[in-house]
Amino acid sequence: MRCIYTHTQATISNPAWMTTLALIVSKNTQKITTQQFETIIFALCRLDAFRVRESVGVSRTVLFALPGQACVPRLLPLIQKVFVHERHLFVYDGCCHSVEYGLGLIKKYGSSYRQKASKEEWELVSETPTVISATIPMAPLRHIRALPGTLANLNSSQASIVEAWMASVDMFLDMKSKEKKNFYTPFVCRAGFLMKRSGIGNGDGSDVSGLALKNVLEFISGSKSRALPEEVLKAAQTSLKRKRSEFEDAIQSNKLTPDEKILIEKSVFTHKSILIGEKTLLDTVQPKEDWSLKAAKKLKSCMCCLEPGQGDDEDESDDDGEGEGESTENARSETDQSNAGKSKYVDGKAQFAFDPTMFSK
């Protein structure tokens, strides 16, 4: 699970200060204000972009990658607020896949990993130990009362990763629910597409990883209307192939049993907006040539068929007066209906759209 902020300036930065800052935000014993944290993030990102200014490519783009899913709940709102006009990418994986990968990292590095470098090279010193930021939750989900009981059925490492995954998805859903105010419209990418997994949006089992990667690159570089340079696409494919191999090696000896997967799904189910660990998140971009950041509205679905959170934004009204004319027109319509007698229409969200007693006759 990663959120990537792209600065309009092609190099990737995964600075260690992000994990440290996420921990400071989590504890905040110094009573630092939100505005001060925003200033700190802005300054550190600008400094890091200045450091790599000579190595950016033709796309003039610097990617800032959050080091792991545990940092998302603490840093995502701040980064969105500071860099509201920049491009954002949210990559997520299924809960069980995230747990398997996290267990692989713990097995390889241990639970308290420290970077050991033969010499102090910046790339090594500044790299965040993913085993920590991917497996240890920084934002416990205390508002879900049933969660501790279900997590108790898992071992400590599994429970820790599950809560970190749920917290990151919880923050994503919260941000998306407020997108009319915070303008959070990221490129939502499901890692399964990049990892050649079948059955998630590609039911015929076809490999869509190449197309999914191309879509991501088009978004990051802002070149959707232009063809990507062949050398850029080949380099990205080579990098993805290497990362896919590393992922498969990490989870090879850490596969979850069917019983463990059931216990994990029970934990995820306690969150009423997520419900399942293999959930396809809102506005996930489907791999295709003419891709879109926003998913098509399910206009023909009834309320009982919608997933939690869907359809809710249709009743939201902005505080800046947008849609005022429409609300005035609705008020007039309601007045006319009250004058003409009781309306024959009901609010399907508040009550049954039909009389259930009629079916017993």
Burial per residue of 39-61, b for 16 or more beta-carbon CB atoms within 10 angstroms, e otherwise:
ebbeeebeebbeeeeeeeeebeb
Domain interval for residue 317: 313-360
Co-location of 275 and 319 in the same domain: no
**Strand positions, DSSP E, 235-322:** none
**What does each C-alpha distance from 215 to 161, 172, 203 come to in angstroms?**
29, 21, 19
Co-location of 255 and 184 in the same domain: yes
- Distance (Å, whole) CA 50 – CA 46: 6
The number of beta carbons lying within 10 Å of the beta carbon of residue 143 is: 8
Co-location of 264 and 354 in the same domain: no
Co-location of 125 and 41 in the same domain: yes
Question: What per-residue confidence (pLDDT) applies to 147?
Answer: 96
Judged against a pLDDT cut of 50, whether residue 338 lies above it is answered with no
Co-location of 288 and 317 in the same domain: no
**Residues recorded for the chain:** 361
pLDDT in tens, 206-262: 788 999 999 999 998 888 777 888 888 898 899 899 989 988 888 888 999 999 999
Which is it for the CA torsion 317, 321, 327, 331, positive or negative?
A: positive
Co-location of 194 and 321 in the same domain: no
pTM: predicted TM-score of the whole model, two decimal places: 0.75
Q: Which of 264, 296, 328 is the last residue of a domain?
A: 296
- Whether residue 32 lies inside any domain: the answer is yes
Co-location of 18 and 87 in the same domain: yes
- Whether residue 108 lies inside any domain: the answer is yes
- Distance (Å, whole) CA 202 – CA 1: 21
Number of domains within the chain = 2
Co-location of 216 and 96 in the same domain: yes
- Whether residue 96 lies inside any domain: the answer is yes
Co-location of 6 and 77 in the same domain: yes
pLDDT in tens, 308-337: 444 444 444 444 444 444 444 444 444 444
Q: Which two tokens stand for residue 181?
A: 């105010």
pLDDT in tens, 24-41: 999 888 889 999 999 999
Judged against a pLDDT cut of 80, whether residue 303 lies above it is answered with no
Tell me the average pLDDT across 180-203: 84
- Whether residue 303 lies inside any domain: the answer is no
Co-location of 228 and 331 in the same domain: no
Co-location of 285 and 331 in the same domain: no
- Whether residue 307 lies inside any domain: the answer is no
Q: Which two tokens stand for residue 234?
A: 């080949």
Question: What per-residue confidence (pLDDT) applies to 346?
Answer: 54
- Whether residue 306 lies inside any domain: the answer is no
Sheet arrangement for strand 11-13: 11-13, 62-65, 2-7, 87-92, 187-190
Co-location of 137 and 182 in the same domain: yes
